Structure 1
Amino acid sequence: MFNLISRNPYFNRSHSSFIRLKSTLIPRLSDLISNPPSFNQSLRVRGWVNKTRKHKKTSFINISDGSLSLWVQIVVDNDLVDPDLLKNLKIGCSIEVEGYLEDPNSENSFNSKIENTSIVCSKNGVGLIGSVDNDYPLANFRLLNDYIRSLPTLKHRTGRVASLFRLRSALDYRLHEFFQKENFIKTNPPLITTSNCEGGSEIFQIEKTLDAKPKLSHFFKDDSYLTVSTQLHLEALSMGLGNVWTFSPSFRAEESDTRRHLSEFWMLEAEMAFITDVRQLTDFCEKMLKYLARTIVENKTDQFMILDDLFGDHSRRTDEEKESALAAINKVHSLEKFPVVTYTQAIKILENSSEDFKFGKPQWGDDLKSEHEKYLCEKVYDSPVFVINYPKKLKPFYMSVNSDNNTVACFDLLVPGVGEIIGGSIREENYDLLKAEITRRKMKAKDLEWYLDLRRFGSVPHGGFGLGFDRLIRYFGAAGNIRDVIPFPRVQGKCPA
C-alpha cells in the first residue's frame, strides 16, 4: 500500500506552520457586521451613499457597498470635515471613510442596534471617490419596479434587486458544494453546437460577417448554433466519467415577452450513468433542492446573509414578496416528500376541476399550459410537485419510451408562483430504437451520428436533468419577473448594454 501523502514534506507539516496570508483588500461591510473589530479601533470602509442627514453640528451618512442589504451609518462632526465636501455629497456617489466603530452601549452612542452600526468619522476622514450628476436616475428613494428594470446598468444598486443577486451568488456556491459532496465531476461542454438538442426551431444560428459587410458566411464547416442545452455533450462525457454536471448559459430564440422567459438564461445540467428509473432522478432533484433550503434555514451564516437580506427592512421588498419567499424556502425544507403524479393523473385532476382556465381544460395528449401547471402546484398540492411520464409526442427524441409505448420516462418539477423549473428523463441507450425515433421524426440523422455512436461503444442506461437557475432564484426569492433576477436580461427586441 502506497502512502503518497507521506512522500510530500508539505503534508507532514503541522497546520500552524503554514503561512497565513492577510487579505490586501479593504474589509467589506459584511465583514464589519459579521466579524466586527474592537470598538474604537481604527478602520477604513468604502461604499456608495444611499442617504444623508445634515444637521448643524453633526451629519449622518448611510453607505452600503453591495455585500449585504444593511447599511452602515457614518457619524461626522461637521467641524472636522471639509464643508464643501459635505454639501456636495449626494445619493449614489462613492466615498471612502476613515474612523472607528462606535460602541452602541456607550453613553453618547447614536444607535443601539447592530444593524444600524455606526462609524465615527476621524478628522478629514471622508473622501469623495466618485461624484454623481444631478440626473442620477436612482436619486429618488421609492422607485417603481418597471422603471428599475429599464436601468440594466444601475438596477443592482437598488436594495431589492441587489438582494436577489446576492441570493443568486449564495445558491450558485451551494450548488457547487452539493455536487462536490455527491462526487460529481464538473465539466464544460461547448456552447457552440451543430446539434439541435430539443429539435425545435427556436435557435440562434452562428454566421460570420465578411469585412464588416452584410454578406454572411459559415465560420464552421456545418451549420452551427448557440446551444439550447448541453445535454447531448454531457451524455458523451458521462460515458466514461460517470456522473457529470455543468453550469452555463443557454440560448433560445423564443418570441415570448413574458415574466417567465429569457433568450439567454443559465442552466444547471447533470447526467448520471447506470440509472434506469425516472424516480431516481426525481429523488436526486428533491435532495438537491432540500440541501439548498436546509443550508439557508439552518446555517447561521446563510441565515444572516440570505434570510435577513431577503426579508429585512433594508431589502425594500413588499410584505407579500417576503411572505412568498419565506413560504417557498420553508416548504421545501419541511416537506417530508415532494408529491409525484403521472401526466395521466394530472390530466384527470384538471378535467375534474371547477377552475375556469383561459386555455380550457387539457385532454390527454395536450401539453400543459402555465395556468395548468400553476393550478396543480398551487391549488391542488400547495407545494412543489413532480409530473412524470408525459406522452412521447410532447417530448424530444432522446427519451426512453415506457412499456406502454405511449409515454416516456421523464419528469417536470412544478413549483408555486413559477411553474416548471426542472425537466429531465431517462435517455434511450439502445442504438436501433434511438435511430428509429430519429428517422420517424424526420430529423437529420447525419448531424447526430456522433450521438448515435455513443450507443455502439459501451452504452449504459443513463439519465439526467436541467434546472433553470433563473427560475429557481425567482422561486426562492419570490421575484414576480424573471428579468429581476439576472443582470442584463436578453429578450426578443431588447439587448441593452
Structure 2
Amino acid sequence: MAAASFCDDLEPASARTRIRDVLAAGAARAGDRVVVGGWVRTGREQGKGSFAFLELSDGSCAATLQVIVDAAVHPLARLTATGTSVLVEGEIKEPPEGTKQNVELKVSRVLEVGEVDAAVYPLPKGKVKLTLEKLRDVVHLRSRTNTIGAVARIRHQLAYASHTFFDENGFLYVHTPIITMSDCEGAGEMFQVTTLFSQAEKTEKLLRENPAPSDSEIEAAKFLVKERGDAVAQLKAVKASKQEISAAVDELNRAKEIVSKLDERSKLKPGIPRRDDGSIAFENDFFKRQAFLTVSGQLQVETYACSLSSVYTFGPTFRAENSHTSRHLAEFWMVEPEIAFANLQDDMNCAEKYVQYLCKWLLDHCWEDMEFMVKNYDKNAIERLELVSSTPFVRISYTKAVELLKNVTDKKFDNKVEWGIDLASEHERYLTEDIFKKPVIVYNYPKGIKAFYMRLNDDDKTVAAMDVLVPKVGELIGGSQREERLDVLKQRILDAGLPLEPYEWYLDLRRFGSVKHSGFGLGFERMILFATGMENIRDVIPFPRLPRTRIASPLTLPARRRRRDGGLLTEASPEAPLPLRHSQSQPLQLQSLVVAGPDFTFVDHHLRSAPTENERELNDSVNVNASEANKEASGAAATQTETESPTDNASSNNVCVDTVISTLNSHGSVHCASKFFHVRCAAHIINLIARDGVNTISAVIANIRALVLIVKSSPLQQEAFSKLVAELAVAERGSHYPTTNLFFSEFCEINLKIIEWLKNNDKFVVSTAKSMKKNFDKYWDMSNIALAIACFLDPRYKMKVVEFYYSEMSDDYGFDDMYEFKKILQKLYDSYASKYGSSAASFVQESEPRIARTSRTSQCYVDLNEEPKRKRLSSFLRDNTEPVQEQTDFEQYIKDPLLTWKEGDYFDILSWWKTHGIKYPILGRLARDVLAIPTSTVASESTFSAGGRAVDKYHRLDPQVVEALICSKDWIRASREEQSGVASILDDLAGLATNDKAE
C-alpha cells in the first residue's frame, strides 16, 4: 500500500545535479538534461549581447562549469554579475575542440536568479585580490572563494577520515560536555560560564525602577497585617457571616503578600553577590558552583574508556590564552581518543597510525583540492603528505632531543635550549625539518611542564607524555599514559594548586577497578594547517573569533598621490619601497611608501599605522598596500612592480616580508628573486651595535643623564644649552635620509674596525667587539649586496670600491665575494634590460653635478678615522684606474673613468644620474630604483633618538583614530608648498619666550 501524501500544496522538490557529478561524468552524459545551481564566478556577454558565458560554481568541487545562456532565454544583464546565484535547466554538450572544458551546459530555462548589484558588491576593482585577512570581515564572500572552498572540502574529508579510522579500529564515539566544572590542564586558562552578571544587571534594573523599601515601609506593612489579622479574629468571635469573614481573610492575605514582596525587595543588593570574605558567591549561580567552557573532553572520556575500552570524542574546546598569533585560536576542535589497558608505547602507535591514515586519505580523496593548495600556497604540501603517510616516525626521548638541539651549530635559536623547557615551535620544526627530515615523536617530558594526569615515571623527574611533531607546524599531537595510581594522582592534583573536591569523580576511576590507560589529543585546525600549507590558522576554521577587526587605512590611495611639492605623481616609478617602521615606545607598526620619480625625486608618505600586537593581520594588509601603491604610482601603463622593505631585525618582520615576497612573486613583480626586497634597517643595527658599547660605560652615561636633568630644571640652563646647540649646529629633528650609495664604505669601515678590536689584547674590548660583531653580521648578511650595488652606481667608486673593501675584509682577497657580486649585478641588469629595452648608444654633453660644501646633517652615520680611510681609498683608486674605450650602457659605464671630486665636497648623485640618464638609459632606470631603497626606517639624525612622541602610552584613542591622525598629519605637512625645511625646536622655544615677554 502506497504511503499517503499530505503535502500536495508544496512545490515539487528540486532535482538538482551537483557540478562535481556533471564534470566527473564528462562527455558520457552529453545530451542529458539536468538542473544545475550555483554562483557566478565570472560572466561575460558575447556576440554583441546575443548570449553570455557564465562560470558557475556550487562548491562541490574546485572546478567550475561553463554555462551558455541565450538572450532570448533570460535578460543577460541580470545573470553576468559576479556573485549572482542561478538555478538553471539545460542540456549537457561537448564543447568545441581546443577548449579547456570537457563539457558545458546549454541553458533552456532559468528557474531562479538571486541578483547582485555590481556597484556595491564587496570586490575590489581591477586585478587586486582581497586578502584572506580582509575576507574574514566579509562572511558571505569568504566561503565562496576558491581557497576557503578548498579548505572546507579538505576539512570535511579529514573529519570523515577521523570517524572512519576510529570506527575501523573498534572505537566508540562519545559526546563529552562543553560546560564543565574541572580544569583539565590545570593552567586556569578557561572561559567561565556564569549567569551572575546577567542577574546583577536585572537586579540593578529592578532597583532603578522600584527602589528597595525603607524600614518604615516594611514596619507599616507588618502593622497592616497585624491589624487585619485582628479584624479576622474579631469577626470570628462575634460569629459574623461567612461572606464577611472570607472578605476579611482575603484582605489579610493581600497584606501578607505585600510584606513578602517588600522583604524580597529589601534583600536585593546591587552588583555580584559575594560571601563575607569578599569572594564571589557562586552558590547563587545557575549551576550552584563555578563552571567553565571545556579545555578538553579528556577527563570525561576517560570514564567511558574505563568501561568500554576504546572510545574517542571530537568536539569544540576553548582556551582563554593569547590568540593573537597565526598558530593559536581561542576556540578550536580537538580529536581525543582514549584506550584502556594501553601504555605509552600503545599510545604512540595509535597516534602514528592515525596521522598516516589522515595523510593517505587526503591523497586518495582530495587530490584536486591539494593540487590547488600546491599551486597557490605551498608547493610542498602533497610531497609532505606523501612523506608522512609512508615514513615511520622517529621516536626519541625529550632528554635526547634537548641534547641534539644543544649541539646545533648552524642555527641560532631565539628560545634558549636547556633541559626543563617546553620545546618551542622553532625547536620542534628544526627536529623534523633539519635533523631527521621526517615526523618525530618526543616522549618522557619533565613533569614540571606537563599536566597533573600524566603518569609519573620511576625517576620522579619525567612523566610518560609524548608529542608528535611534524614538518611545517611542529607539534600536532599531545598525549600521555594516564596516572592510574590513586595516591600519586591526588598528590599531583595538589601540586598543581588545584582543589581535590571538583575531581572526586575523576579519582573514583582509580578507587574502583583502576586500569592503566592512555590517550592523546589532535588539534584539528593544526592538522588542516599542516595538510594545506596555509600560514594563518584563522583561515582553516569556518568562523574564526578575532581579537579585533582589521584596522582600515583612513586614506584611500588615490587621495594619497601627493608629492612633497604638492603636485600629482603622474609619472612616478613603479619601484616603490615600502618601509616597515616600529615605534620604540609602543607596539606600533608604521608603513610608509617611498616613490622614485622620473626626475630623481624621492617621495616618502605614511600609508598605515597599527598596533603590532595584531601583527599578522597587519602583515596581510601589506600585500594590498604594496600592490595598490605600486599600481597608483606607476600609472595605468605599468606592467610590473618592484618593492623593497627595510625593517629592523625583529622576527615578526621576517614573517611579514616573507608574506609580501610570496604575494609579489606570484605576480612576477620582484627582480632577482627578491634579492633586494628585504633590507635591514641601518639605523636599527647601528643602534644595537652602539648599545653594546654603551652598556659598558653606563656609569658615565648616568652622569650625563644627571646633567640633562640639571639643564631641564632651569630656564637659564636651557638658554645656555640652546646657545651651545646653535653654535654646534646640532639637528633637532630627523629629516635626512642619505641615498643608499653612501652606506657601503661606511659599514665596511665599521666591520674592519670591529675586526681590529677582536684582535685586541684587552679582553674587555674583545668581549664588547664580539657582541657588536654578532649584531653587525645580522645586518651585513641581509644587506651587503644591495649596498654594494648602490655603491657601484656611484660614478666616483663603481666596481673599485667594492673590490677594495671585499679584499680587505676577506682572507681570499675577496675573489668569492666579487664573483657573487658581479653575478647578481649582471642578473639585475639583465632583468631591467629585458623590461625596459636594449641599451642605447646615444650620448649627450656631460654636465658637472652639483657641488656644495659638506654640512653636518648630510654626512652618514659614523666617522671612523675619516682621514686615514680617505687616503687609503684615494691611493687605491689612483693605482687601479685606467683609461677605457667608450661602449654602450652597462659595459660603457664600467669602462668609463671614475669621476674625480675634491675631498670634503658634497656630491649630489641624484643630480648626476638625472643628467646622465640619456647616456646610460637602463642603468639610469636601475639607479633610480636602487638609490631609492631606504636603508633606514628613520632619519640618520634619529638613530639614537628616544622616540615616543607620536603616541604616548596614556592615550585612549581608538586605533583607527590614531592611524588617521598620524597619516593625515604627514600628508597635510607634505602638501604645504611653503615648507622647504623643517622647523627647529629652538624656534618653538623662541616663540614661547616671545609670548612670555608679551604677557
- TM-score interval w.r.t. the shorter chain? 0.7 to 0.9
> Residues 49 and 62 of structure 1 are in contact (CA less than 8 Å); yes or no, is this contact kept in structure 2?
yes
> Residues 402 and 419 of structure 2 are in contact (CA less than 8 Å); yes or no, is this contact kept in structure 1?
yes
Q: Which amino acid aligns with 2:341?
A: F
> Which deviates the most, 367-376 or 65-74?
367-376
> Once the 2 structures are TM-superposed, how far is the Cα of residue 418 of structure 1 from its aligned partner?
1.0
1:111 to 99, 102, 120: 99
Aligned to 1:310: 370
Q: Which amino acid aligns with 2:120?
A: D
1:70 to 63, 68, 73: 63
> Once the 2 structures are TM-superposed, how far is the Cα of residue 112 of structure 1 from its aligned partner?
5.4
Aligned to 1:476: 531
> Residues 480 and 518 of structure 2 are in contact (CA less than 8 Å); yes or no, is this contact kept in structure 1?
yes
Aligned to 1:220: 287
The normalised TM-score by structure 1 is 0.86
> Once the 2 structures are TM-superposed, how far is the Cα of residue 384 of structure 1 from its aligned partner?
1.7
> Once the 2 structures are TM-superposed, how far is the Cα of residue 24 of structure 1 from its aligned partner?
5.9
> Once the 2 structures are TM-superposed, how far is the Cα of residue 439 of structure 1 from its aligned partner?
2.4
> Once the 2 structures are TM-superposed, how far is the Cα of residue 376 of structure 1 from its aligned partner?
1.3
**Helix, strand or coil at the partner of 1:62:** strand
Note the 1:365-404 alignment, pairs <5 A: 365-404=420-459
> Once the 2 structures are TM-superposed, how far is the Cα of residue 281 of structure 1 from its aligned partner?
1.0
Question: Is 1:147 aligned to residue 134 of structure 2?
Answer: yes
> Residues 255 and 492 of structure 1 are in contact (CA less than 8 Å); yes or no, is this contact kept in structure 2?
no
Aligned to 1:241: 308
Whole-Å separation in 2 of the counterparts to 1:136 and 1:162: 19
Whole-Å separation in 1 of the counterparts to 2:107 and 2:346: 59
> Which deviates the most, 171-180 or 208-217?
208-217
Aligned to 2:945: none
What is the RMSD computed on CA atoms of the aligned residues?
Answer: 2.3
> Once the 2 structures are TM-superposed, how far is the Cα of residue 472 of structure 1 from its aligned partner?
0.2
Question: Is 1:445 aligned to residue 497 of structure 2?
Answer: no
Question: Is 1:210 aligned to residue 236 of structure 2?
Answer: no
Aligned to 1:96: 87
Q: Deviations over 1:195-245 (max 9, x none)?
A: 000001211011112275485562101100000001100111111111110
| Shift in alpha-carbon separation, 1:382–1:471, aligned structure 2, 3 A | same
**Helix, strand or coil at the partner of 2:437:** coil
Q: Which consecutive segments of 4 or more residues in structure 1 shift more than 6 A?
A: none
Q: Deviations over 1:125-184 (max 9, x none)?
A: 464234345222236563223322332343111101110111000111111111110010
Note the 1:324-363 alignment, pairs <5 A: 324-335=380-391, 337-363=392-418
Whole-Å separation in 2 of the counterparts to 1:330 and 1:308: 15
> Residues 356 and 388 of structure 2 are in contact (CA less than 8 Å); yes or no, is this contact kept in structure 1?
yes
Aligned to 1:296: 362
> Once the 2 structures are TM-superposed, how far is the Cα of residue 354 of structure 1 from its aligned partner?
1.9
2:379 to 323, 326, 334: 323
1:131 to 101, 116, 123: 116
> Once the 2 structures are TM-superposed, how far is the Cα of residue 318 of structure 1 from its aligned partner?
6.4
> Residues 76 and 121 of structure 1 are in contact (CA less than 8 Å); yes or no, is this contact kept in structure 2?
yes
Q: Deviations over 1:14-49 (max 9, x none)?
A: xxxxxxxxx965121112222456211111101000
Task: State the identity as a percent.
Answer: 39
Question: Is 1:408 aligned to residue 399 of structure 2?
Answer: no
Aligned to 1:40: 31
Q: Which amino acid aligns with 2:134?
A: Y
Whole-Å separation in 1 of the counterparts to 2:97 and 2:52: 14
Question: Is 1:170 aligned to residue 157 of structure 2?
Answer: yes
Give the gaps of 5 or more residues in structure 1: 1-22
Q: Deviations over 1:28-79 (max 9, x none)?
A: 111222245621111110100000121124321101011111000002233x
> Residues 92 and 138 of structure 1 are in contact (CA less than 8 Å); yes or no, is this contact kept in structure 2?
no
| Shift in alpha-carbon separation, 1:244–1:24, aligned structure 2, 3 A | farther
**Helix, strand or coil at the partner of 1:238:** helix
> Residues 94 and 128 of structure 1 are in contact (CA less than 8 Å); yes or no, is this contact kept in structure 2?
yes
> Once the 2 structures are TM-superposed, how far is the Cα of residue 356 of structure 1 from its aligned partner?
4.3
Q: Which amino acid aligns with 1:210?
A: Q
> Once the 2 structures are TM-superposed, how far is the Cα of residue 109 of structure 1 from its aligned partner?
5.8
| Shift in alpha-carbon separation, 1:25–1:484, aligned structure 2, 3 A | farther
**Helix, strand or coil at the partner of 2:151:** helix
> Once the 2 structures are TM-superposed, how far is the Cα of residue 186 of structure 1 from its aligned partner?
0.4
The structure, 1 or 2, with the larger RCO (C-alpha pairs under 8 Å, 6+ apart) is 1
**Helix, strand or coil at the partner of 1:146:** helix
Q: Which amino acid aligns with 1:334?
A: S
**Helix, strand or coil at the partner of 1:389:** strand
| Shift in alpha-carbon separation, 1:138–1:180, aligned structure 2, 3 A | farther
**Helix, strand or coil at the partner of 1:402:** coil
| Shift in alpha-carbon separation, 1:132–1:382, aligned structure 2, 3 A | farther
Whole-Å separation in 1 of the counterparts to 2:345 and 2:54: 55
Q: Which amino acid aligns with 1:323?
A: K
Aligned to 1:14: none
> Residues 432 and 438 of structure 2 are in contact (CA less than 8 Å); yes or no, is this contact kept in structure 1?
yes
> Once the 2 structures are TM-superposed, how far is the Cα of residue 468 of structure 1 from its aligned partner?
0.2
Whole-Å separation in 2 of the counterparts to 1:475 and 1:40: 43
1:284 to 343, 350, 366: 350
> Residues 253 and 492 of structure 1 are in contact (CA less than 8 Å); yes or no, is this contact kept in structure 2?
no
> Residues 357 and 371 of structure 1 are in contact (CA less than 8 Å); yes or no, is this contact kept in structure 2?
no
1:251 to 301, 318, 340: 318
**Helix, strand or coil at the partner of 1:154:** helix
The structure with the largest helix share of the pair is 2
Whole-Å separation in 2 of the counterparts to 1:343 and 1:195: 29
**Helix, strand or coil at the partner of 1:74:** strand
Whole-Å separation in 1 of the counterparts to 2:53 and 2:404: 59
1:159 to 129, 135, 146: 146
**Helix, strand or coil at the partner of 2:287:** coil
> Once the 2 structures are TM-superposed, how far is the Cα of residue 360 of structure 1 from its aligned partner?
3.6
Aligned to 1:50: 41
Whole-Å separation in 1 of the counterparts to 2:419 and 2:376: 36
Whole-Å separation in 2 of the counterparts to 1:395 and 1:51: 53
Aligned to 2:17: 27
Give the gaps of 5 or more residues in structure 2: 1-12, 205-270, 273-283, 551-999
Whole-Å separation in 2 of the counterparts to 1:159 and 1:319: 12
Q: Deviations over 1:88-141 (max 9, x none)?
A: 63101101121111124xxx4683543xx311121x446423434522223656
> Residues 332 and 525 of structure 2 are in contact (CA less than 8 Å); yes or no, is this contact kept in structure 1?
yes
Q: Which amino acid aligns with 1:120?
A: K
> Which deviates the most, 262-271 or 50-59?
50-59
> Residues 31 and 92 of structure 2 are in contact (CA less than 8 Å); yes or no, is this contact kept in structure 1?
yes
Whole-Å separation in 2 of the counterparts to 1:211 and 1:42: 63
> Residues 110 and 118 of structure 1 are in contact (CA less than 8 Å); yes or no, is this contact kept in structure 2?
no
> Residues 92 and 132 of structure 1 are in contact (CA less than 8 Å); yes or no, is this contact kept in structure 2?
no
**Helix, strand or coil at the partner of 1:397:** coil
1:196 to 175, 183, 197: 183
Aligned to 1:269: 336
Aligned length: 454
